[in-house]
Structure 1
Amino acid sequence: MMDASVDFSKEMEALTKDLVGIRSVNGTAGEREVAEFILRWLRSFPYFTTHPERAFAQEIPGDGLGRENVFAYVHGTKEAGTGPRKTLVWHGHIDTVGTEDFGALEPWANDPDALLEKLLAEPDLPDAVREDLATGDWMPGRGACDMKSGDAVFLVLLTYLSEHTDAFSGTIVLSLNCVEENEHTGILHGLDVLDELKEREGLEYLFAINNDYICPLYDGDPHRYLYAGAVGKLLPCVYIHGCETHVGQCFEGFDASVAAAEVVRRINYNTALCDGYRGEYTLPPSVLKLADLKPAYNVQTAQEAWTYFNYFVHAASVADILAVLKGIVKDSMDEIAGRIDAEAEKYAKLAQQPVVPPNFQPEVMSYDELVAAVREKRAAAEAKETALDDELAAMAHKLRAKGRDLREISLAIVRELVRELHPTRPLAILFFAAPYCPANTLRQEVAGEKKLYDQLESLVSSFGEETGEQYKILQFFPSLSDSSYLKIDDTPESVATLYQNLPGGKTVSPVPTERIRSLSIPAVDFGCYGKDAHKWTERMYKPYTFGVLPKLILKAVAEFL
């Protein structure tokens, strides 16, 4: 039997410090280094010495840094079944964001003990942070909260269960992935391993437990949250091709950068675009880039500009989102055209000149409409038949091979198509770019998923009564997570609309949607507890993370295995 009184805290704290001590910033060789450390650590235990094939690394194909995922699995021996092995997946990520935000404290960003001393001596440390750290219950450091303490909890518990296989039936699979903090490359390749293990070991995946950080949602928030899914993310982009002019004749042109700024004004922070499910709402879109495309200084107004947004999703279809955004972009373009006319008229009166408003008539297209327009132009010109799809695919592959940013690849394709179309009036193109993070949750309208939700709700309710914690289950982990790639709630039609409007397609956004749909592993975030992830004041609360969370996870093992 599993002993609920076992204290794992010292071992988990020491391992967390070891993991934080390895600077595994996303996009650096440290991601491979931390994976190698974890694999060595696992293989130092008797179970994996006896079964070395049950702890292994998966190198990311074609990755210039040689980054790896780490997998391990333990079979329970409590009961011998005849059907598939009921299986829980424990998953997390091993990379972190950078440490530049620590400023002068950066040399200690990966040393929790030294950083604690430095922070407490910092005169400008926020009072709330100082109060936490002074208790001795909080561990600072990059990755302490997001999410190396969560990884350490999994690792210690897995090795504990490897020594008590008679305490549970079924299987536990550990999946620790690289490249989570931007492109989610680790989990996307890790799906191959989960699929292979399912077939080879005869596994039936019940659900996955993520240990990504949970945090208070407001000052004084007493809750510990479980998240029954992960928020989705789209990256809608708007490219604007204006009508250039010399600044000495500014009213004769349609400045693309001004129109892009108007698009940002209307979309950014717009709570009308918050997507809801069962009373939970996403945050509104946030602009991530806004730029004109002039290569150098001159006195010509911007002919081209573009912008893109983080757009969270709970339940809306891609088609509905596309339609709403297209309307906003059209209104933005018309607003700028009207403003130019109005200001040109005012200036003419001021300068006592004849009024000749330019009267621009902007057009807005989605990417699939742009492609159709180019096809139509080629057909009308009776041009030699060429495979446009093949041309665009070759362009995407060529640019990707050169290491171009994935968003820039999609933009380059749009620009090439617009160049061929050669518009004579202002034109905006609405398209999507990578990454695509599917939304998923335990849907209340799906019987099997509601049953699992109810089981988890009952589990944390009884556990909260034992521990005094106030648990609350929410449908969506509000920050981006690898859990997005274990289950997909978007319909095939919605996914098709996305890729029809994503220049470069699966070359730049290689989400294996059908494999995800086939595996369909519900993902629930239990989470280490902390504050200020991605900030220099990042810190993790040790009493909950190392004292309460392990018992909750073991309770889930006892309940489901």
Structure 2
Amino acid sequence: MANQHTETELQWNTPETLRALLCELVNWESRTTTEGEKAFPHRLAEKLKSVPYFEAHPEQLELHDAGLGRNSVTALYKNHKAQDTIVLISHFDTVWTEEYGALEPFAFHPEELTVKLHEYKDELPEEALTDLESGEYLFGRGTMDMKMGLALHMSLIEKAASEQWPVNLVLLAVPDEEVSSAGMRTAVKSLVRMKQEHDLTYTLFLNGEPVFSQEPGDLREYIYSGSIGKIMPAALFYGRETHVGEPLKGITSTFMASFLTQRMEWNNVFEETDHGETTPLPVTLQQKDLKAHYSVQTPYRSTALYNVFTMRRTAAEVMELFEGIAKEAVRACESAYTEVSEREGISKIGEIKLLKFEELMDYATNKLGEAEVKRIITEVSGDWELDDRDKSFKIVDTLMIECQELAPATVLLFAPPYYPAVNTSDDALVQELVQLMQDKATSLGTEVSQIHYFNGISDLSYVHYEDEGTGWKSFERNTPVWGSTYWMPFEEMKALDAPVLNVGPFGKDAHQRTERLHIESAFVRLPQMLETLAMHFCGK
């Protein structure tokens, strides 16, 4: 296939022009939940209009509502001789920048920041200082995670359209990946619609997340044939209040919480191993009591939020494990409480109950009526000062306040977000592509290893969903904000059944002040690797 355009006619086809594109994208500040995140997709769409193909086909460049004034962007290059379609996935939101301190004004200016850091050498960790002095890295917020992935996809689709490659490409750039993935969750429905409208066959979902180290000091480069899952079982502990001068008249929620947290932290019951890789152990992400102010009233309502990684387990299976551990915790708490009661010669205030949120909902609906329960959920969900985690706990707390006869009790629930694990390592196409990428990397003077589960959590979780039963129903029924401020398009996710792969640039220290991108990997090797991958679908 002869090139119809020379390199000089393409905007982003050299290391220098690609670097300039990345710096421009990083300059467009787009921290999650900011006005910059809202403005970014509009600027991106305007940028893509400079590609002649999209100037000629503006209808194939779309914005998709992602809620709260945010939008995703899709750009479809369609070759009418092809049905095979690669979906190029990236996110444009970044985490915040407080950790940069005096350097914060430079956080979104990679060239300036990389120069300025030489004045702050004594503040840099040894490895970051070595990389700075090597001249092999470009520093800045979003350089690694993950605007370089977007820049690479823009370069690829520009070249494919210019040279009329016989393959279809959908560039998808989404907001909110760093918090709740609202961008990707809403974009799933758009992808299903586009598939039908344009008669596309989705052949591969290709993410551009950067390489994440497997351990401190890891310098190896990877490609990923799956993405680890993340789910957050949580609990509200409702005790019995009393004055600190009469401690035995009540039971503190902090006392109750301690028994479950000790059993959840680092519990290898949740550990999964697949393809020789093992999930990190669960940890507590948050634990607090709900007293708004200091007083001598004992804390009687507390919450705990736990992080669990998954590979094969469904939400239903995680809840089953969680409930089993919670039963152990309640028995241990009861035993300790009984021992104190007998020692002090006092009567217990009651047995500690254990129930799931769906059971609390049934009880509250029977007592208060369906309309009142809906009113409570709607009122709490409408409080925009609270995030989805806080809303989840407040819904449970409000219902328990109306049903105090259940106390003391532990209520189990799920808190958003939920990232189902995805893995297509055994897919024949993925195996071909992994080998192709490894061979190409070798020809470029480096080595790339395969990892079966991307350990940074990614939007690939929302495609190729394989739950054959109703594993997700447990998540729906036990997530208090389900259907109001949080949802997942499970049926549409199942419809997007093409395999997944993540091929991205090498970098270090995502979400840290020293976030940086390897220049050779990003601007020299990855463009060639991605072009080789796309050409695999062109019969070349």
Q: Above 0.5 in TM-score? A: yes
Q: How does 1:41-52 map to 2 (within 5 A)?
A: 41-52=47-58
Matched with 1:419 is 401
Matched with 1:37 is 43
Residues 431-483 of structure 1, C-alpha deviations (whole Å, 9 max, x = no match)? 11221222211163xxxxx2123222321232233223222222221122111
Matched with 2:360 is 370
Matched with 1:138 is 137
Q: How does 1:70-469 map to 2 (within 5 A)?
A: 70-76=73-79, 80=81, 85-122=83-120, 123-165=122-164, 168-219=165-216, 221-343=218-340, 355-356=345-346, 358=348, 361-374=351-364, 378=367, 386=369, 388=370, 391-403=372-384, 404-423=386-405, 425-442=407-424, 444=426, 450-469=427-446
Unaligned runs of 5+ in 2: 8-12
Q: CA deviation at 1:391?
A: 4.3
Counterpart Cα distance in 1 of 2:84 and 2:142: 32
User: 2:430–2:501: 8 Å Cα contact kept in structure 1?
Assistant: no
Counterpart Cα distance in 1 of 2:58 and 2:2: 24
Counterpart Cα distance in 2 of 1:92 and 1:514: 22
Of 503, 513, 525, 1:526 maps to 503
Matched with 1:16 is 22
Counterpart Cα distance in 2 of 1:161 and 1:238: 50
Matched with 1:67 is 70
Q: CA deviation at 1:526?
A: 0.5
- Paired letter, 1:106: E
Counterpart Cα distance in 1 of 2:377 and 2:347: 41
Q: CA deviation at 1:415?
A: 2.4
Q: CA deviation at 1:223?
A: 2.9
- Paired letter, 1:88: I
User: 1:436–1:509: 8 Å Cα contact kept in structure 2?
Assistant: no
- Paired letter, 2:241: E
User: 1:231–1:480: 8 Å Cα contact kept in structure 2?
Assistant: yes
Matched with 2:536 is 559
Counterpart Cα distance in 1 of 2:97 and 2:2: 39
Counterpart Cα distance in 1 of 2:217 and 2:33: 36
> Do the aligned partners of residues 111 and 303 (structure 1) sit closer, same or farther apart at CA in structure 2, a change above 3 Å counting?
same
Root mean square deviation, CA, Å: 2.3
Q: CA deviation at 1:344?
A: 6.0
> Do the aligned partners of residues 2 and 434 (structure 1) sit closer, same or farther apart at CA in structure 2, a change above 3 Å counting?
farther
Counterpart Cα distance in 2 of 1:535 and 1:363: 43
User: 2:317–2:471: 8 Å Cα contact kept in structure 1?
Assistant: no
Counterpart Cα distance in 2 of 1:330 and 1:153: 50
Matched with 2:10 is none
SS in structure 2 at match of 1:473: strand
Residues 510-537 of structure 1, C-alpha deviations (whole Å, 9 max, x = no match)? 1111111112243311112111000111
Q: CA deviation at 1:507?
A: 1.9
Counterpart Cα distance in 1 of 2:473 and 2:523: 44
Q: CA deviation at 1:423?
A: 2.9
Counterpart Cα distance in 2 of 1:407 and 1:362: 24
Matched with 2:61 is 55
SS in structure 2 at match of 1:508: coil
Matched with 2:461 is 484
- Paired letter, 1:95: D
> Do the aligned partners of residues 400 and 253 (structure 1) sit closer, same or farther apart at CA in structure 2, a change above 3 Å counting?
closer
- Paired letter, 1:366: K
Counterpart Cα distance in 2 of 1:25 and 1:552: 29
Moved more, 218-227 or 490-499: 218-227
> Do the aligned partners of residues 253 and 491 (structure 1) sit closer, same or farther apart at CA in structure 2, a change above 3 Å counting?
farther
Residues 175-230 of structure 1, C-alpha deviations (whole Å, 9 max, x = no match)? 01111111211112222321222112110000111111113323453532111122
Residues 7-57 of structure 1, C-alpha deviations (whole Å, 9 max, x = no match)? 621111111111111211000111133222222221112222222222232
User: 2:250–2:349: 8 Å Cα contact kept in structure 1?
Assistant: no
- Paired letter, 1:103: G
> Do the aligned partners of residues 455 and 438 (structure 1) sit closer, same or farther apart at CA in structure 2, a change above 3 Å counting?
same
Residues 300-337 of structure 1, C-alpha deviations (whole Å, 9 max, x = no match)? 21111111122221111323221221222233333334
Q: CA deviation at 1:110?
A: 1.0
Residues 323-362 of structure 1, C-alpha deviations (whole Å, 9 max, x = no match)? 221222233333334334445666x5xxxxxx44748532
Of 472, 493, 503, 1:516 maps to 493
- Paired letter, 2:37: E
- Paired letter, 1:75: K
Q: CA deviation at 1:136?
A: 1.3
Q: CA deviation at 1:103?
A: 1.6
- Paired letter, 1:453: V
- Paired letter, 1:48: F
User: 1:32–1:68: 8 Å Cα contact kept in structure 2?
Assistant: yes
Q: CA deviation at 1:111?
A: 1.2
Counterpart Cα distance in 2 of 1:219 and 1:425: 46
User: 2:41–2:72: 8 Å Cα contact kept in structure 1?
Assistant: yes
- Paired letter, 1:369: E
SS in structure 1 at match of 2:89: strand
Q: CA deviation at 1:540?
A: 0.6
Q: Alignment identity in percent?
A: 28
Counterpart Cα distance in 2 of 1:52 and 1:217: 42
Unaligned runs of 5+ in 1: 349-354, 445-449
SS in structure 1 at match of 2:410: strand
